[in-house]
Structure formats: C-alpha cells, structure tokens
Structure 1
C-alpha cells in the first residue's frame, strides 16, 4: 500500500523533535554567527535509530554530505546528528572534508558513541573554512545543553537557522498496533531553495519501529511530492539534506507496506514533510505571501510536477504575485515552456475561485476582486490542462525587493 491520504493523525499543538520517545536535542552559540544566535545543535537518540537520508543533486556537494552518507551506509542506523549554521563547509577541499570528519569524531567522543553513529550537516556561507577551535569548544559543551523537553527542541530549531525569519517544526501522533506513535520534524531554509532532493536542511524523528528499507523508500517517495515541489529562487544548494531517524521505542510491530497501519503512518509522515516544505516556501527570503500552484489534467503526475514547478519558479509569475497583478499571461507562458505535453486549446486557469482563462481563452473577471484576493497571505493558482489524469502541487513565494536586498549582501 502506498502513501495514504485517508488515515487519521493528530497535530500536537506543542512539540518538536524531542517528543518521540528516545530523543533529546539542544543548541548553543559557539561563535560561528556574529549575531550571537544559536549556531550549533544536536539531536541524540538513546538507542541506535533506523536512519535514512536524501541529499542535494548539486554536483558540488558539501563535505558533511559525504560524512553523513558514509555514517548511514555503515549499518543503516544513527545515534546523533550534529548541525552547524553560519558556515556551509562547501567547496572547501580536503581541509573541509577533514573538518567534517572532525566534527563527527568530536561529537562521537562527547556523547560516548561510535563515529559511524553520527551524521553531520552544515549550512551557511559557501567557500569558507570552519573555525574549528570554536566548533570543537561548542561540541564539547553540547552534552550539557541537551534535554528531552520542549526547550531542547526549541534550541535545536533555532541553531539551524540562517536567513530564516521563523523556526519550522511540527509534531503529529497516530495509533499503530494500538500504541501511540509520534512523528516530528524541524527544518531550515528560506533562500537558495529549489530542492532536487536549497540552503535546506530537514530532520525527522519518530519512535515508530520501521523496517529500514520501508523507511528509505517512504522518505524518497514523500520527498518527491513535498520538499522537491518547493522553490523560492530556482537555486539548488550544495548542502540540502533530509535525515529521518526512527527509534522504535513506541513498541509497535515493524512497519512496512502490508502492515495494517502502514497507510496511516505514511500519511502522517507525508503531512510532516509537507508542513515543513510549505513553511520553507512561506518563509522565502523577503517573501510576503505563500503561492501554491496545482496542476491537473496533465498526461502524467511527473508531467504535472514539472509544469507546476515551472510556474511556481517563474520570476515573472512571482513578481506578479508580489504586485497582486492578475496577469494570467505569465502563468500560461510558464505552462507552455515547461517542456511537457499540453493542448494549447484546452487550458483553464483560476486564481483562487476567480476564473481568468477557460479553454485557453480569456474570461472577463472583476479586477478589484482579483486584487483583493492576490493581496492575501496565501495565493492558490489552479491550472487544468484537460489532457490526462496527472496531478501535482508545488509551493513557492512572491519575488520582492527584499529578496534582492538580502542576497546582495549575504556575505557582508
């Protein structure tokens, strides 16, 4: 059974990555950021957790990704993931790779773990070496900074942020084999976001018992329809990473396709990823509104995904959304250049409930009504191609003056 949509799960109003049984987390400032905000964090599991990861497809992959791949590949389990912000440790050569391994070794020593039990992630400025004296001092202080309560999760969520304006976390619960299972997640990202797995990092924890292959497959499938369907600026980072850890302490029978509660677990897992993905899109650098593009009637789901991401990634569409301009011509132009099969005589477009194009022909609409709608904090663009049964949804944001301001002085 694949990813289900009809399962029942509950969103917990408070809680982050420490709510699932077996997890602690924490964060602190070690001097990587001038602002004094947290810039080093860790998630720790009391038992070896089944682990899976997905990574950026950028050819220039940051050193921590190599270390994390190696750790997970050793036995498919992790005990900890250490994360720094303020420095991406990307394009830093052999020294950067050595520094990533040193972070792994130092974290393992600090918590009494084997080195291969530790994953490493970094985010921030590309091309600068980590000040390892500060990193080592910070890692040595992490054991005293972690907890299993909400403060630990809060400090970790703050530690992974760069240009983000807000933390991004969520926690849901459901019943598996009559037992409560919790899935939680934390993420960062607001610029350089066009995942093909931007700078984007996400971490998921669950106390479910999950078969390793099932977790890997689910993570890949869900990533394709959530994190891989967001874009802020069309740039794919060198550091994108999503890591999931399952402690198995909920006491359920191992989850895998065929388990009676697999669809429920998969739906809850997808909800966590989709929530985090939407939060990243909403918090795009300088953004004033979330934009959601739904494409239906494509020849396949893959075709629908390509078209939706082309529309959401169009600088002209994004600029029109910032200006609250109902310029549907920019939308249909993006549809037409996506490189996917489209019948140019059958396309419908709606902005929310406002029909602006039907059968590829303009429909009179109230400009004032459209203006009010487009000035809201969330804009839904619906495109129906009437060309097949493929559907997809992508998320992004408007393109504002502040995006240019922020990125024009990112290093300074």
Structure 2
C-alpha cells in the first residue's frame, strides 16, 4: 500500500493514505491537513509526477503473453509475484527464489552456481549457444527473444534483465564496436548498494520526494537489491557469452552485502544455465579446454569484493582498470555512500551507467550527479527497454516501478 507522502515530516499519520493528490495523482495522504502541510514540498515535483503518470502505459508496455499478469494485475494486487510464479511451477525454486514476494536473505555461503537450472524446458530458455551471432544492436525484449528463438510466454526475461541491461548500456555508450575489436578482456565494475546508510536526500539537496521514495518506504525487501540478489542469480551473467562472442568478460562485483567469507572469491561461468530436459544438448556442454578451440567461445569471470567502491578501488585495480562501470537500481539520492563513489568516477573518467526503479528516483540521482560533476549527464535519463517485466509490489508511488527501469550515465 502506498504510504502517506508526509509521513515522518510532522504530526503522526491518522490512518491509511487514501487521499491522492488531485493534480498528479501519484502520491497519497492520510488526511487533508497532511496534504496541505506537505504542499510546500510536493509542489516542486508535482508537475513532473503528473507527466510520469501520463506515461504509465509506456512503462507497462511489454511484448509478452503474460504482460497483463506481471504488470497490471500485480500492480492492482489481483496477483502477487508468488502466485504468478506458482502458476508456472517456479515458486521458491532455484534461480527464481529471489523473485518471490516471500524471499529472504539469499547470500548463501555454500551457494553453487554450477547447480543452476532454468527449471524450464529447452524450448523456453537459452541453454545453448545462439544459432547465429548478433547482426544488429538489440533494442527490445522482442528482438532478443527472436534472436534466441524463445516464445513470448517464456519468463526468462525476469532474470535476464540483469545481463541485458548491462549489454544495452554498453551499446548506448557507443562501446559496442570497440568491444568487438578487443583482443583482451572487457572489464566491468558492477556496484551494489544494499546496506548503505539511508538518508532523505541530505547529501545532494534532493527534494521531498526522496522521503517518499527511500525515506519511509523502502525497495529493499522485497525485492532484494544488488549485489545480494545477484549473488543468488550469478549464473545469468553467463548469457554475456552469447552477447559478446570472442570476448573474455571480467566482472568485479562490489558491495557491502558481499559476505566476508566470500570477499575475493573468483568464479568462472563457462557454460549456459541448463534446461530441465534430460536429453538436451546443454547436458553435453564442452569442457573449458575444448571450448577454447571454438572461435565463438567466451567465458565470463567474476570476482567478489566486500565494501564500498571508493574504499576498495585500489585493491580492485591493482591488476586491471575498468572499461565500464554499472550500478543497477542505485538509489543515488538516498545513500550518502554514493557521494565519494561518484567523485571517484569523475576522477578516473570511466564511462558509467546507473539505473533506478522509477523516473523520479532517476531525476533525483541526476541532480546529485550533476552537482558533483558540475556538468549535465553524458547519457540523459531514458526508459530501459530491457527493464524487468515484473512490477515492484508495494511501490512508493501510484506509478508502476520496475527493476532497472530507467537508465542514465556519466
């Protein structure tokens, strides 16, 4: 349920937030007095939120046969994430656990990505090499599904939004052609935010909507956000092998939620996630040595780093420097730990793309970033075609929110 936009800013709330702003319709209040008292803050973002409400249909526009269920029905509480997954036999199974509403802590110390299975038949998941390399830039879920010969009722996009958003960001930065000519590795720094100390926009001068987005209503649980979620779904990054053939990809996954026992752990993804068919060729995947002879063969390696990026940067870059930095669902305006990280990114001049759950959170982040850079964003805020097509339950506004929904870069 959307909570009162004035919660925690003055007198206690008197009941549920059933009174919506008559102009934007995006925020709610518990009483007329709270709405009146909050107007001095809300008027700054009301016009922006009104425009975002007009764009709601665009946010919910996905090509899948299950789109209405995963967007409108979950948003309207006619379904839950759990009931959606139960209907497909995926509730609390393997890779899908962290997509459930009832998800708990997933950063298991004994987790093994090598045991991952799509829990789907081969016709519904990308468990083997693609039939052909990409001949053009992917720009939509429909184009990806067509390339990977997947039916539009396959739910794999719920998990693959992680590598696809990363891939799309690299294309947006114009790095696609350069990457295809690389003889070495593509090195990516993947930044997580979970367990930064939260504040309501104090560091970057963000306006009062930050209180709504991250001050009183949290995106942390559910859904789980990175890199804890990524630790439970780490094998999905193996799809980068198909997206970047012939390129060796290394990802440094950095964040406070990395367990101390896994700090420095190195992983190699040298196969695709297997399907549930016992006779599929994915069960006969070649060994790493054999694959090395395949001209289209790539591997994805990862290393885990516990801590904040600016604190661990020197350790991470002792042997290599990043080509690209990505920070999914970052919540820049909410976490003071981002300020020194953004200052570091400014100093090292490495292309970076961030994402967030909704456009207003991205607007707040952009305000923070531009105040530090003293320059506009190099990549303006834009809708990510590879956002997760599973609406966030109990979002902070009367707007649908999606994981990796909006992209912006510096």
Q: Please state which band the TM-score falls in when normalised by the shorter chain.
A: under 0.3
What TM-score do you get using the length of structure 1 for normalisation? 0.26
What TM-score do you get using the length of structure 2 for normalisation? 0.26
Higher RCO, Cα 8 Å, sep 6+: 2
